[in-house]
Amino acid sequence: MADALAQGADTLVTCGAPQSNHCRLTLAAAVKEGLQCRFVIEERVPDSYRDDASGNHFLFRLLGVEAITVVPAGTDMAAAMQRVSDELRAKGRKAYVIPGGGSNALGGLGYVACAQELQQQCFEQGLHFDSVVVGSGSSGTHGGLLAGFLGNRIDTPIVGVGVSRDPPDQAPLVHAEAQAVCELLGLDLRVPRDAVRCVGGYWQPKYSLPNARMVEAAQLLARSEGIVLDPVYTGKVMAGLIGLARGGELRAGQRVLFVHTGGLPSAFAYQRELLGLQQVAP
């Protein structure tokens, strides 16, 4: 936001899926700063976009999104956002384009701050974690947190559970994000390839589509801890944590930190699935 304001922008332009938490938060930030906001929404699952949807889409409308452009799966999102930016420029306005998930070097700084806050809390409370489990999607969270750990010399391994890709495709994105954040910070270090730990197999059948393990994880956390998980990100990430524990990769007695990245509003768009009233993929 500081960069957008410094450049004299009057409108934020960003992108995401129909229930994008990132879009909702970007819009909220725009509202607080007196800016307009426009979205390019990628309909990754055919017919999944509904203008009367609940969840984050309801909040898009409540918060006053200026315009939403819906594009089919596989669209070049950077080009689509640039077209929106060009349209605004033709009207004498100035757009500031934010990539999906806020996942670039500047956006990754948020999770560097998260790493520092975590380190401070652990120091104050005398805590040590054996591993950290986090969602790994557009890579801003995973890559930014990894850069923060490396820069602050936190030796706790980070395990990223994929929400849209398996490790061969996901790990290079995380590595590139972490390296870009380190370079923006002026850190003289190369991110080790083996520091990027990705786990796959929990996001299928497709990004944002519910599966049985996600529903189990969401119900378990809600009914044992009073914690609500969202179906697109944290629900599948917790399913991964549970799977790693059941498989012995996370062992009894270890201290594991689960990074909950929010997303509660999207749960309201998946009510029947989360309550077990509608069949989901295995």
Give the orientation angle of helix 21-33 with respect to helix 55-63, to 10 degrees: 20
Calpha distance 222→59 (Å, rounded): 23
Q: What is the pLDDT of residue 154?
A: 97
Give residue 27's pLDDT. 98
Predicted pLDDT of residue 229: 98
Which CATH number does the domain 2-101 belong to among 3.40.720.10, 3.10.129.10, 3.40.50.1100, 3.40.50.300?
A: 3.40.50.1100
| Identical fold, 2-101 and 105-274 | yes
In this prediction, residue 175 carries a pLDDT of 98
Chain center to CA of 17? 11
Model pLDDT, residue 113 = 98
The residues that bridge with 42 in the sheet, in sequence order, are 71
What is the chain's length?
Answer: 282
Q: Which CATH number fits domain 105-274: 3.40.50.1100, 2.60.120.620, 3.30.360.10, 3.40.50.620?
A: 3.40.50.1100
Q: Is there a catalytic annotation at residue 85? A: no
- Determine the pLDDT at residue 226: 98
Strands (E), the chain: 11-16, 36-43, 67-72, 95-97, 131-136, 158-162, 197-199, 256-258
The pLDDT value given to residue 92: 98
Q: Digits of tens for pLDDT over the chain (282 positions)?
A: 999 999 999 999 999 999 999 999 999 999 999 999 999 999 998 889 999 999 999 999 999 999 999 999 999 999 999 999 999 999 999 999 999 999 999 999 999 999 999 999 999 999 999 999 999 999 999 999 999 999 999 999 999 999 999 999 999 999 999 999 999 999 999 999 999 999 999 999 999 999 999 999 999 999 999 999 999 999 999 999 999 999 999 999 999 999 999 999 999 999 999 999 999 999
* Spatial separation of the C-alpha atoms in residues 76 and 15, rounded to whole Å: 11
- Please, are residues 113 and 148 in contact by the beta-carbon 8 Å criterion? yes
Beta-carbon contacts of residue 66 (< 8 Å; ≥ 6 apart) = 11, 36, 37, 38
Cα–Cα distance between 209 and 231 in angstroms, integer?
8
Which pLDDT value is given to residue 81? 98
**If 0-12 CB within 10 Å is exposed, 13-18 middle and 19+ buried, where does residue 149 land?**
buried
pTM, two decimal places: 0.95
Sign for the pseudo-dihedral over CA of 242, 133, 138, 198: negative
- Quote the pLDDT of residue 102: 96
Domain definitions of the chain by residue range: 2-101, 105-274
Q: Which of 20, 103, 138, 139 is catalytic?
A: 20
